[in-house]
Structure 1
Amino acid sequence: MKRIITIQHTQSVHHTNGMIGSWTDWDLTNLGKEQANNIGIKLKEELSKDNVYVMYSSDLKRAKQTAEIVAKHLNLEPFINEALRERNLGSAVGKSVQWLRENQTAWEKTIDDRCVPDAESRRETWNRLEPFYNDIVSSDDENILIVSHGDTLSIFNAMWLGLKPDDLNNCDLFGFAGGVSHFIEDDNGKHIIKRISDMSYIK
């Protein structure tokens, strides 16, 4: 049996100042650090001390800081992987949400649309994440923690359910900042989502 826990990074500065997240390298807020600490405390209480865990994190600071805070409670050292980055919004990176509203060149109705011409499409994010996903699902590691971002984890959720990229034109499964999700692959290879974006961990 394989167990995967995903953590969407906690409150970041860009959640409070009207700026774009994406590849802009924002820090956590003080509240975000407190939320990450609470996640670590609760996971330490919940996870079996007899199991060996491995943790992966996006290299962007808001995810990396979340991972490092949680990891201290679990005596882990996160492995940093750029495949777990948030979707790249191109020229919108470093800009405000208002700037994007005023300069958006297309509505993202499909996974191939781009809000600005040089942005990463959701299909490209899928293709970036897929090798990492395949590696961890096929690995011998039975207990895995992943710290990443909202859009990227929504694609992870779809992959876990066996959806194809084009299915994202018709459905989505997004979480919230600080949400913790539990995924299980049973001994028959069945993929189960036990919890999705559980916000009780941050309190």
Structure 2
Amino acid sequence: MRTIHVVTHPEATHHVEGLVGGWHDSDLTPTGLREAAAIARALRDAVPEGAEVELFSSDLLRTRRTAEEVGGLFDVKPVLDERLREKSYGEAEGRPQAWLDERFLPPPAVGDRMAHQEGVREAETKEAFARRIYAVMDEILDHPREHQIVVTHGYALTFVVAAWIGMPAASLGYVNFRAPSGSITTLREDDFFHNRQVVRLGDTRHLDALA
């Protein structure tokens, strides 16, 4: 049986400063660091001792530090991959969220939502964003491991889950799986039918003790 544990990084400085994230290389806050430690403990409790574990992470600082907390408890070094980054917001990254809100063009209710340009120079389309997440997930799924941990970002989680269930790229225009910062999503494939389940989406119970 294969289980993939998908982590969305916890509180980062761009969250509390009201800045656009994307590829802006924000760090974890002190609260985020405590949450990262709680994530690591929850994963250590969920994975049996002696099980082989692979750890993959976005290369941005906030995800990398989260992955390092997790890897420390599993004695595993994270494999960093820029394709697991959040969507790029181009020239808006690192600017106040209000700056982006004033310029953002929402996608149409009908029509080509995947190739939609949002009114911000150098921002990724949903199509480009999904394509790179699907590519890295294809490689991760080619590894026959019992437990894999993927540390990524909130919006990126949508395409990690969609790739897991084999959703065609052409069907992604309206898809959005929401999960809060610092959450763990559990994906599982059984050995008999090879059905792929979304066992738990955006679980944050491991953070309750920190509140």
Coarse TM-score class (shorter-chain normalised): over 0.9
- AA partner of residue 62 (structure 1): R
Aligned residue pairs total 202
What's the TM-score, normalizing by structure 1?
0.94
Q: CA RMSD in A?
A: 1.3
Report if the CA contact (8 A) 2:158-2:175 is conserved. Answer: no
Q: SS at 1:33's partner residue? A: helix
Deviation per residue, 1:69-105 (Å, 9 max, x gap): 122122221111111011111111121100101222x
What residue number does 1:34 align with? 34
Gaps of 5+ in 2: none
Runs of 4+ in 1 over 6 A off after TM superposition: none
Within a 5 Å distance, the mapping from 1:43-192 to structure 2 comes to 43-104=43-104, 106-109=105-108, 110-115=113-118, 116-187=120-191, 188-192=193-197
Report if the CA contact (8 A) 1:36-1:202 is conserved. Answer: no
Q: SS at 1:73's partner residue? A: helix
- AA partner of residue 126 (structure 1): A
What's the TM-score, normalizing by structure 2?
0.91
The sequence identity of aligned pairs, in percent, is 28
Report if the CA contact (8 A) 2:3-2:148 is conserved. Answer: yes
Mean alpha-carbon deviation: is it higher for 91-100 or for 18-27? Answer: 91-100
- AA partner of residue 107 (structure 1): P
User: Post-superposition shift, 1:9?
Assistant: 0.3
User: Post-superposition shift, 1:165?
Assistant: 2.4
What residue number does 2:198 align with? 193
User: Post-superposition shift, 1:111?
Assistant: 2.3
User: Post-superposition shift, 1:158?
Assistant: 1.4
Mean alpha-carbon deviation: is it higher for 107-116 or for 43-52? Answer: 107-116
